[in-house]
Amino acid sequence: MRGLSIDELRKKLDNKEITSEELFHQTVENIKLYQEKYNSFVTILDKKEELIGNTILQGIPYALKDNLSTKGILTTASSNILKDYIPIYDATVYKKLKESGAVLVGKTVLDELAMGGTGTTGHTGVVKNPWDSSRLIGGSSAGSASAVALGLVPFAIGSDTGDSIRKPAAFGGVVGYKPTYGRISRYGLFAFASSLDHVGVFARNVKDIAYATDIIKGQDKYDMTTLKDDGKIYSNLLDNSIKGKKLFYIKEICNLDNYKNTKDKVLLETLTKFQETLEICRRLGFTIEEVSFDKDLLNAIYPTYMTISCAEATSNNANLTGIQFGPRAEGNNIEEIITNARTQGFSELIKRRFILGSYILQKENQEKLFLNACRIRRLIVDKMNELFKEYDGLILPASGGIAPHFDESSDKLSDRYLLLENHLAIANFGGFPSITISSGFINNMPIAINITGRVKEDDIVLNMANIIEKELGYKNQYAKGDK
């Protein structure tokens, strides 16, 4: 049953070609076959939950990122300090999926506490790219991306703070969707940076993204940031006409003239293929135009993201002391116990980010660091909203190339081609809906484009992505992988 879409699995279940019990056990067995090689999962369930609900997702297996609370099921955020934590409540997303009849098969590996973009810092080990195990899949939602890219589940839930769904989706040859801020409840998500965090979905086609989103979106009394449900059924709107739709791309990010001196053939091929994709979009009926964006603002994306996210992360994770959560360390007093627990319990990456966040939040630094970053964020968002008065969406390459080898990776948001690698964070700054879809291959590795739209226009973003996906022809692909 590897590699089947939700519609294909639904048909087999409805025709009684397979029972939900058999599908669950087949899925779990497949996961175990690929687990040692790719390390997609922290926890693999051995018992199917009782089926309730009666939706398109009834009996359909899926995976959940291990920073979403699941009552009675180990939830570690891939951190040693939470390695034995079993929650006493369910995240709203998990609760909605359970009530829809979807079947959880396991919790997936992430970069520790969802910080980092490599998939290499989880406490259970490195997540590998199914298309080439010498390469990373990206992060932080590494395990969810890997599980979908291997065809083990038709969809998986992740979280996205800077690009943590959309970049791994690009590297894994699948679809990754981050909704409008507040469209999907974050109750039960372990907070990283609260003003940037989003819950979203991985799948192998846009329609499956829409099916899952239809179930999990909506207002939640437990999350005051959620929006009133728009009442739309996204999966019914995917084939709407795109007549009159206008997209823009940013000259400073992807115009080939900006990279005349580079010797990176993959980068140049990525940009060339992007231009070819734009021509395909024009033939479909989109109007596509190049616009100029203040280079200083674009260069500020990465430091602005790091400043805000580290500050918010330091505050959000102040409870991880070894007292309330995690193994308690030795010490002569409370301060020593906490210091030793955090020193032993966190990876080097996490400790660096917390030190940065603490420095940024010091009273004497707040104005020149944190508040200035917030001002720059506002300038970037204002510019985007100005462009969205004329255009329906932004289209760009999702990355400057294919997934890096492990020895090329960094624990930063990215340090390859500052603008090409970090522009996805713009959607987090403004809470814009944003989706990555596959657009081809270079050196047998997937590449992708990203489409970002106006706030609350998730249906339009999914509609545009679906029309483009059909023409490009890369939906439903998955990596064969090695057992």
Q: State the catalytic residues.
A: 65, 140, 164
Terminal-residue alpha carbon distance, the chain: 16
Beta-bridged to residue 249, according to DSSP, are 290
Q: How far apart are CA 225 and CA 107, in angstroms?
A: 25
Q: How far apart are CA 162 and CA 296, in angstroms?
A: 19
Q: How far apart are CA 17 and CA 27, in angstroms?
A: 15
415-436 burial string, b = 16+ CB within 10 Å, else e? ebbbbbbbbbbbbbbbbbbbbb
CB atoms near residue 264 (< 10 Å): 13
Main-chain phi, psi angles of 434, to 5 degrees = -150, 135
Q: Decide: residue 36, CB within 10 A, 0-12 exposed, 13-18 middle, 19+ buried.
A: exposed
Q: How far is CA 87 from the centre of its chain?
A: 23
Widest CA span of the chain, in angstroms?
A: 71
Beta-bridged to residue 246, according to DSSP, are 287
Amino acid at 272: T
The DSSP output letter for 367 is I
Q: How far is CA 2 from the centre of its chain?
A: 22
Q: Yes or no: say if 149 and 478 are a contact pair by the CB < 8 Å rule.
A: yes
Which of 347, 341, 349, 340 shows the shortest CA–CA distance to 320? 341
Omega into 140 within 30° of 0, i.e. cis? yes
Which of 155, 39, 153 shows the shortest CA–CA distance to 93? 155
